[in-house]
Structure 1
Amino acid sequence: MSDAAKRMGVRPERVLKLIHAGRLDAEKVGNRWVIADSELASKVWIKSAGRPMAPKSALALALELEGQEPPGLSAVERHRLHRHIRNLFAHEDPKGQLRAWLAARAEPVELVVSQADIPELRGDPKIRLSGVSDPRSGLLPGDEVEAYVLKADLPIVKKDWFMVPAGPGRQANVRLRAVDYLPSEVPAVFSAMDLAERPGPREQSAAESIIRSVLNGD
């Protein structure tokens, strides 16, 4: 058990949890768990969080975790993606690893809009709600909007809603993340990362809940 934990870069307790969860094949011989080398080879974890993924790779990871087919991946990119996912399932801190990988998933823009427009803005078909505005977070909508938008649509959305940049004396109540490709629904992991980048305990708890649900296949 200790040798396996050392090779994977995790604590022995984590290895035992992976075995009981069915994520690591092992055979119990007497009082010891025996894990085949081939099984460990697919689960070895490099402790370094690594560099942020390019937006295309970040989206591919998020879609693959939800059982969707990422578009336009080469064989090499697909192999690398599957290796990342195997490592993520074995990681002790999946939220921390995802934050490192997905840090460059989109271009964030902080804006200000009239408070009276907030409820209607949430229904704009050009945006996809995420983070605190995502119903999957379990948080109340509040007086702000958090969403993703196509880069090409960002100027239109800003003009339609008379948005101005946040700055001194103008606190942001709209947080948009501009992307080149916008799915019909923001991937759950992206929404979890938006929450994880906030300091509040409710947001952190909601992020962890979404990540657990994704990794457990719920």
Structure 2
Amino acid sequence: MNAGSTVDTLLAQLIDAGRTAVRSGLVIASGGNLSVRLPGERIAVTARGTWLDRLDNASLSILDLDGNVVGGNPDPSSEWKLHQRTYHVRPDAESVIHLHPQTTVLLDALGEEIRLMTLDHAHWVRSIGRVPYNPNGSDELADTTAEQSRIHNCVIQAHHGCSCIGGDVAMALRRAMSLEQAAVATYQALLLGDRRTSFPSDAFATLNHA
């Protein structure tokens, strides 16, 4: 937990992230769910069906790390397990941003690898995990995503969306935005007939850790 972060501050960051995600074109309406780790071994997760650009404190459910609702909205997102299990395997994660970015999902569905093209892509995303399609809200989706999150900060769920984690809400959102930007760049490269260009592999060693 960031030093000095209060519950109100963390919830405000999550609400702002929802507005930013929609404003940036990453999602529309309720196309995803967001969470942040709270003091006292708890997490705040967006409630079921909430529009991400219309969040307020009443749109957030408070869960303990066993998945029990302990405050806030009594009806958490159907994807609460995805968040809860990711926090279990990544104790360094302070936020999980799960969104449905269209270019990322489209390229993955077409079997196209999303290439990290720029320094920003390489620095923030680093590597991309992937899991096969599983129904939303299922144990299978939550468990496979969490397993990939042990290795990757960004994980694509086939025909569904992606989850990105960070040491705070801003970092998790930055990674989601960078992943979609890399997908758009890959799509544009494919339109130009390029199937090879990506960030130089030998340059990864020179990147500072984010």
TM-score (norm 2): 0.24
Kindly indicate which of the two structures has a greater share of residues assigned to strand.
Answer: 2
Kindly indicate which of the two structures has a greater share of residues assigned to helix.
Answer: 1
- Higher Cα radius of gyration: 1
TM-score (norm 1): 0.23
